[in-house]
Structure 1
Amino acid sequence: MSAPAFATIGWRGREVRIECQWIAPERGDAPLVVFLHEGLGSVAMWKDFPARLCEAAGVRGLVFSRPGYGRSTPRAEDEIWDVDFMHRQAHEVLPALFSALGLGHEKPWLFGHSDGGSISLLYASRFPDKVAGLVVLAPHIFVEDVTVANIENARTAYLGTDLPQKLGRYHDSADSAFWGWNRIWLHPPFRDWNIEKELDAIRCPVLAVQGIDDEYGTLAQIRGIAARVSGCELLEIPECGHSPHRDQPDRVIVAATSFITKNRRETS
């Protein structure tokens, strides 16, 4: 992978720098896979998984940290995310980042985990002609009690353990990353958040993956995607929690590589 670099976008009335890392940019004619991290993720927290997937699939990769995460600009002290925070990432941040990086001509694949999976779905819904396909791991399409319960547990851990120090290895501001995510998910109006109807607009191939032992959601999430998106393929992995790319990386790489390769062949 290349050394981390930064792009600058205008968002929420100020300039925001976005931490980016390219994988195999020399594969100029290969498809581009854009990796969208989870609610507490960053470029560094993916570790070597994106590089391994890109090597197996023969594709280029772009890994980035969303505003407030990793080495990207932290949230302003008075910046409170609202119920539409994932919509704004999909409808505002992603298009601005692609424009800043000169990717307006590309139709990338989006590979999203958890909140990043939801953002990927929302982008493909809003811009159905600008995405080649999706691989989404443990995405959320509505709010479940089990999700909220474990996010409450995460808050307790952040306040009472060394979790801030652990997150500090991956974020310029652990507080920015943690509280931006935690407060909105525990905000009572967010319990009504639901993007099921928006899935009807998705036209690209979708592979939806979830661990059977996912502690942050049930299989109703990916099965709900399959009920709305024609041709969506599901992969339900036993002995696997909320992070399939960490718990079962080889299985995810094989499945994603096969899915991308098959759909490249069918559309070429």
Structure 2
Amino acid sequence: MSEQVRIEAAGCMLDIEHAFVGSSAPAAPLLVFLHEGLGSLAMWRDFPSRLCEATGHRGLVYSRPGYGRSTPRAPDEHWGVDFMHQQARDVLPALLTALQAPPRYALFGHSDGGSIALIHAATFPERVTRAIVLAPHIVVETLSVASIAAVRETYRSTDFRAKLARHHDDVDSAFWGWNDIWLKPAFARWSIKALLPDIRCPLLAIQGEQDEYGTMAQIDGIAEALPGGQCRLLELEHCGHSPHRDQPAAVIAASGAFFALDAQP
């Protein structure tokens, strides 16, 4: 069951839908889940619970502003090229403060959420203990833009809008906020490669071989930017843009092994 908490971020008062899952032990480490560009708390389904049960974490799952049951994007509000930076540097810290989260925590991000996780880990290296990113974006690829343009037509001409509306109070807020900025010509120059060397925590990057929104160059670029051994890569066969849905057992197993490294002497 989700709850609401009010935060102030980027000069706005926002209501954020969130839920805690997994371990209720006071000493359980916190794992923050960051959803994809069309995602929400509900769209994770039971995956955060399953992962946290397997790893002993307390999971924080939330819908970013504009998504799910959180404050929607105003019809005349257009996200800027730095929208993921704002989520990583303003919204997430404000949420963690409002929920009285522990000072150190791990991150689990998918797609845009993976990019937000990387930006947050680079900006607050003293806070993030570990990070797992699935199909993250560090640059804009032609493949990504083409697929997002195709989704625009699908949204307009099929029942995709109705299906997506099950997970968002304002489905047009969620869809057009994401779709419009990704297809702006200025966004083609977006990159977070320069931030990556500031990440200090161990990192696991996972990519599906059939990902329609990005190539292996995304996670390879992360590994190239970080010192040897800091970043582990996992390439999954028969897997598209959502490894936690296409290959959940493999993602949970790899995540469990990654977190178990903390327990090793």
Residue 92 of structure 2 is matched in structure 1 by 94
User: What are the residue-to-residue correspondences of 1:107-118 with 2, within 5 Å?
Assistant: 107-118=104-115
Q: Give structure 1 stretches of 5+ with no counterpart.
A: none
User: After the TM superposition, which residues 47-66 of structure 1 pair with which residues of structure 2 at under 5 Å, given as runs?
Assistant: 47-66=45-64
Instruction: Spell out the pairing of 1:23-62 with structure 2 (5 A cutoff).
Output: 23-24=21-22, 26-62=24-60
- Counterpart residue identity of residue 5, structure 2: A
The one-letter amino acid of 1:249's match is: P
Residue 163 of structure 1 deviates from its aligned partner by 1.2
**Structure 2 matches for 1:1-268, cutoff 5 A?**
3-24=1-22, 26-103=24-101, 105-230=102-227, 231-262=230-261, 264-266=262-264
- TM-score using structure 1 length: 0.96
Instruction: Identify which range, 21-30 or 44-53, moves more after superposition.
Output: 21-30
SS of the aligned residue for 1:235 comes to strand
Amino acid at match of 1:94: L
Q: 1:236 & 1:25 partners in 2: Cα distance?
A: 29
| Separation of aligned partners in 2, 1:173 and 1:10 | 21
Q: Distance in 2 between matches of 1:92 and 1:85?
A: 10
Q: CA contact under 8 A between 2:111 and 2:135: conserved in structure 1? A: yes
Q: Distance in 1 between matches of 2:186 and 2:131?
A: 28
- 1:226 partner amino acid: A
How many residue pairs are counted as aligned between the two chains?
263
In the alignment, the residues of structure 1 paired with residue 12 and residue 131 of structure 2 have an alpha-carbon distance, to the nearest angstrom, of 30
Any unmatched runs of 5+ in structure 2?
Answer: none
Whole-Å separation in 2 of the counterparts to 1:237 and 1:28: 35
- Cα offset, 1:25, TM superposition: 5.0
- Percent identical across equivalent pairs? 57
Could you list the runs of 4 or more consecutive aligned residues of structure 1 that deviate by over 4 angstroms after TM superposition? Answer: none
Deviations 1:131-155 (A, max 9, x none): 1110000000000000000000000
Give the distance between the partners of 2:22 and 2:145, measured in 1 at CA: 38
